[in-house]
A = this chain, B = another copy of it.
Amino acid sequence: MGDERAVGTPVLRRLNTASVLRAVRDCAPDPVRLAELVKLTGLTRPTVGQAVEDLVEAGWVQHHHPAAASRKGGRPAVRVSLRGRAAPVLGLDVGPHTVSAGIDDLAGRRLAAVRRSVDHNRASRVLTVVDAVIARALEEAGLGADEIAAVVVATPGIVDSGSGRILLAPSVSGWTSVNLSDHLRDRFRCPVRVENDANLAALAVAGERTGPGTLLAVQWGERLGAGVVIDGRLHRGTGAAGEIGFIRPPGRVPDTDDGRGPLERAIGAEAITEQARRAARAHPESVLRDGPIDTAAVFAAAAAGDAVAARVVDDVARTFAQAIAPAVLVLAPDAVVIGGGVARAGTVLLAAITRHLADLTLTPPDVGISGLAEDTILTGALRMALDDVWHQLPA
């Protein structure tokens, strides 16, 4: 129930120019003929002409040389395209081991991508790397910090979306005491947002899917987090939505004081390998006996038919399914998509989870693996930054 106010004729114009800009964006990065925009928007030629003129003046779109391809008679068309450099956005993924930065232009073209690892995950050291990565990315894109139109930073832990403060982040020592948000706000004059990494990964995964719907996107590695995306919008709740790592699974869970949640301690990557090691010791016939054990090895052994490994995988899948089943029943998501290090191991786990979930829920969701590579979180951060820019258009 939007509360529109004070509608005059100028508002109409803004509405129409926005409509034209949307059409131009949908065609990005290809240039569009003006006549095509008329068809796409349903507006008339003079209106579109006026709007394009305004947009060019404001710097959002740019003219193209008419001396291009695909002429088939007639006066040469004026063609325009999104002027990406009008509002480039910066995405940042601050992980416990690596820091990555990316710069996209409005059209979604990647202008820069930088990745650097952090040796010691001490907060002060991380901050230094963050600054270095940003500087390198800006250099690569040939941009100044002033030209960036939006910044979104992904970080582990729970983030207060209002202030941008990090409330809880066990994986990086001292991270909560650093006001990352303020630190970056000084460097940029545009809005800076800090957001939970699993949430941003969810946004990236949702971007791969078309149409509305509910998505539960899980990031599964050493730690375990999730994001909820409903009809393309991220669901935050009171702020800590998606923290599945703190679900308490049935059965005993080892105590640790590293701030990890019960489910993380039960089926995080480390717990999986630990279970496999124990199983291998108890069952010398397993191939797990040979070679080093990591999650990839466990899943590979299970896929190859090793009964002991299969048992471990099934246990993990069951625990996971039991843990999220209540949430699946309440949310009734269209899909549960798993990303992160564990997901890369393969489809053995997937099948087991699907099986168990079908048993525990009424309308079992599709269970899939994220098709996105290592930069899922970064992609999500850039996506949110672009969305931000796009929503404050009329400014």
Contacts and interface: CB of A to CB of B under 8 A. Distances in A.
Contacts of A365: 238
Nearest to A242: B330
A241 interface: yes
A247 to B, nearest CB: 5
Contacts of A237: 214, 331-334, 363
Contacts of A329: 240, 242-244, 246-247, 327
Nearest to A9: B12
Contacts of A361: 246
Interface string A222-241: 00001010101001111111
A323 interface: yes
Interface in A242-294: 242-244, 246-248, 250
Interface residues of A, number: 59
B330 A216 contact: yes
A235 B330 CA distance: 9
Contacts of A244: 326, 329-330
Interface stretch (A15-23, A175-183, A300-308): A15-23
B7 A332 contact: no
A35 interface: no
Contacts of A4: 15, 18-19
Contacts of A5: 19, 41-42
B22 A332 contact: no
B332 A331 contact: no
Given A238-B365, A365-B238, A331 B333 contact: no
Given A42-B5, A334-B237, A362 B158 contact: yes
6 contacts: A4-B15, A5-B41, A9-B9, A240-B332, A244-B329, A326-B327
Instruction: List the 9 closest A-B pairs by CB distance, nearest first.
Output: A237-B332, A241-B332, A6-B42, A327-B330, A326-B326, A5-B42, A247-B326, A238-B332, A250-B250
